Every structure is written in structure tokens, then in C-alpha cells.
Structure 1
Amino acid sequence: MPDLGTYAVPVLSSYAGTLALLIGLVVGSIWKARRVARKLDAVEERRGKG
């Protein structure tokens, strides 16, 4: 790892913030995809019974 000197804290906190945002986006996308899939399954089930 390169020597960051006095910039170590801002650089590492920027990396941590970026990583946290990326993880949040991935988790949010997976959560929404599962929610939409459940709703689609419910609609398809209702149409199949009608």
C-alpha cells in the first residue's frame, strides 16, 4: 500500500464510503428485484385462476 501521509484518513474514508454505497446499491437492487418478482408471481397466479 502506498504511503498516503497526511491524506491517509480522507483517502481511506472515501474508499470506505464508496464501498458502503456500492454495497447499499447491490443490496437494494436485490431486495427490489425479489419484491417485484413476488408481485409478478401473485399477478400471474391471479390471472391463471381467472
Structure 2
Amino acid sequence: MSGLGPHAGFILASYGAVVLILGGLIAATLFDHRAQKRALAALEQRGAGRRSDRMSS
């Protein structure tokens, strides 16, 4: 840790904060993706189709 100089605490805390923030963003994205897939499946089950499917027929 002496290689980081007198600001080692700040540098390590900054890296730690970045890891926590990025981890939180990734987790939030995964949770939202799952929720959107469930919502889409519910819509399709009720009969709502996709516009792209109607255009191709």
C-alpha cells in the first residue's frame, strides 16, 4: 500500500465506491430485465401481440 503514496486511503475508497455503484447498477438492470420479461409474457398471454408479427403476415 505504500506504493500508492499518502493518498492510498482515498484511492482505495474510490475504487471500492466504484465497485459498489457498478454492482448496484448491474443488479438493478438484471432485476428490471426480469420484470420486463414477466410483464411481456403477461401481455402476450392476454392476447396482445407484437406489431412486428402483424407486419410480416
TM tier relative to shorter chain: 0.7 to 0.9
Higher relative contact order (CA 8 A, sep 6+): 2
Q: Which residue of 1 aligns with 2:37?
A: 37
User: Where does the alignment leave 5 or more consecutive residues of structure 1 unmatched?
Assistant: none
State percent identity of aligned pairs. Answer: 33
What's the Cα RMSD here?
Answer: 1.7
1:1-45 alpha-carbon deviations (Å, 9 max, x no partner): 771121110000000000101100100000000000000000000
Secondary structure of 2:3's aligned partner: coil
The amino acid that maps onto 1:27 is A
Stretches (4+) displaced over 3 A: none
User: Where does the alignment leave 5 or more consecutive residues of structure 2 unmatched?
Assistant: 49-57
Secondary structure of 1:32's aligned partner: helix
TM-score (norm 2): 0.77
1:13 & 1:46 partners in 2: Cα distance?
A: 50
